Amino acid sequence: MMVVELIERKRDGGQLTPEEWRGLMAAYARGDVPDYQIAALAMAVFFRGMDDAETEALMLAMLSSGRRLDLAHLKVPRVDKHSTGGVGDKVSVILAPLVAACGVAVPMMSGRGLGHTGGTLDKLESIPGFETRLTLEQTAQQVERLGCALIGQTGEIAPADRRFYSLRDATATVEAIPLIAASIMSKKLAEGLTGLVLDVKTGAGAFMPKLDDALRLARTMIALGERHGCPTVALLTDMDAPLGEACGNAVEVVESIEVLRGGGPADLREVALALAAEMLLVAKVTPDRASARAKAAEALASGAALAKFREIVQAQGGHPGAVDDPVKYLPQAPLRVEVAAERTGVVQRVEPRIIGRAITTLGGGRQHVDDPIDHAVGFLVHVKPGSAVRPGETLATILARDATTLEAARAALARAIVLGESAPPSRRRVSHRVTSGGLEELTGPGAS
Ligand code: URA
């Protein structure tokens, strides 16, 4: 295969055939095509785009570069959720045990940090001993036994996407609808699901900040899911500010456990309950959204979701103390410094991209694929757009390893939290529901 000819064709606005994509992705997964050629191709796709048929061809090529999880023998529905990525987005940590506690099998496969966004795997690995690299056989056994596994993409599932994902992160080619859609759906279709819920983020911290682009991304992924036998629904949720207060790794696990205990920040709880309800609906275990929400809320209130999380942590080698006493067992940053408002005002913006990049500066994200992560560092952002503050009131807490990164984080916070005089327009946390049948604007609980 002359890879350079394929790059040239894409660069000049042409298309690759399904056979060419399959051959290329198989060769890439084997290590037979160098990263620099795939990087050039990704940039050509970024500028030239791909139509639906070519997007499907890339998705199938990445899917067929690996194996599939076979859970067809299970008697219960198998549903997963995937987010397009954000800052403070720890919803997966809450959702997997919550929905499993409601009787649905959740083989949840998550990713690492990408661009300015955090990754569920990095968050989970802040739990001492927690192993996310399960084989497909181990995953199937655990899902059979506990109804849930929280795993990473090993070399077995869509390995071409695994390499491509890190490469896109390093080459500024993440923000392309066909590439995001093919990446997400290649992994999700390998899980052998009976239903999928997508959390498509919009706003400044999303890969698709504009509503129209987010809708286009949602529709592209839904079409891919439905064409390949997986009923797929998307909720559009707000990522114009970090979700919840905690932004980092260990600190996000702590906040997830607060929600699993029935507390936690209102915005995070709302988004988690809305997505949980959609998962229960797509699993057909409840007749309507109101009863799905009530079932999910009851699993939080009764402690069933927290108990399921404890079982999963133990099964995957994590220290169970981390669930019951997270402050004692999860890594803590040596420096914990509060930053206060200098004047009276109303918060206009909390810029998620600035916060996300500052986490990397603190050591909590990667600049290079193999960089180690400092799980202890990050932020607690105590204010939201619309919060009224007075001089001396705490805006955020920085969790840092040393004085140099602390000062860089302080400077980033000063740019991220913008004060003004009057309340900014409010945004709905969960704004739209998209299915193959159409678009619904949401106005009930969770749409606030
Ligand atoms: N999540 C993925 O799995 N892939 C992307 O390209 C973006 C978000």
For 85-109, what is each residue's pLDDT tens digit? 999 999 999 999 999 999 999 999 9
Q: Is the pLDDT of residue 112 over 90?
A: no
* Ligand 1, atom 5: closest residue by C-alpha: 180
Q: Is the pLDDT of residue 46 over 70?
A: yes
What is the rounded CA–CA span in Å between residue 329 and residue 322? 5
Residue type, 45: V
Atom of ligand 1 nearest to the CA of 180: 6
pLDDT of residue 448: 44
pLDDT of residue 1: 73
What is the rounded CA–CA span in Å between residue 109 and residue 191? 8
Residues with CB under 6 A from ligand 1: 84-85, 111, 114, 165, 174, 179-180, 183-184
Question: Given the structure tokens 């606030």, which residue do they identify?
Answer: 448
Confidence of residue 199 (pLDDT cuts 50, 70, 90): very high
Confidence of residue 250 (pLDDT cuts 50, 70, 90): very high
Across the beta sheet with 430-435, what order do the strands follow?
A: 79-83, 195-202, 232-238, 430-435, 438-441
* Ligand 1, atom 7: closest residue by C-alpha: 180
What is the rounded CA–CA span in Å between residue 238 and residue 107? 25
Q: At what angle do helices 52-63 and 177-189 cross, to 10 degrees?
A: 40
Atom of ligand 1 nearest to the CA of 111: 3
So which residues are the catalytic ones? 82, 161, 168, 183, 187
Q: Ligand 1 centre from 184 Cα, in Å?
A: 5
Confidence of residue 444 (pLDDT cuts 50, 70, 90): low
Cβ atoms of 117 and 88 closer than 8 Å: no
- End-to-end C-alpha distance for the chain, whole angstroms: 53
Q: Ligand 1 centre from 199 Cα, in Å?
A: 11
pLDDT of residue 368: 77
Q: What is the pLDDT of residues 383-410, one digit of tens each?
A: 999 999 999 999 999 999 999 999 999 9
Q: Is the pLDDT of residue 445 over 70?
A: no
Residue type, 168: R
Q: Is the pLDDT of residue 446 over 50?
A: no
Lowest mean pLDDT among 49-58, 115-124, 343-352: 115-124
Q: What is the mean pLDDT of residues 13-42?
A: 97
Average pLDDT over the chain reads 96
Confidence of residue 266 (pLDDT cuts 50, 70, 90): very high
Contacts of 279 (CB under 8 A, 6+ apart): 79, 81, 95, 99, 104, 106, 195, 197
Q: Which residues of 388-399 are buried (b: 16+ CB within 10 A; e: fewer)?
A: ebeeeeebbbbb
This prediction has a pTM of: 0.96
φ/ψ of residue 349, rounded to 5 = -145, 145
Q: Ligand 1 centre from 221 Cα, in Å?
A: 11
Across the beta sheet with 417-420, what order do the strands follow?
A: 388-389, 345-350, 417-420
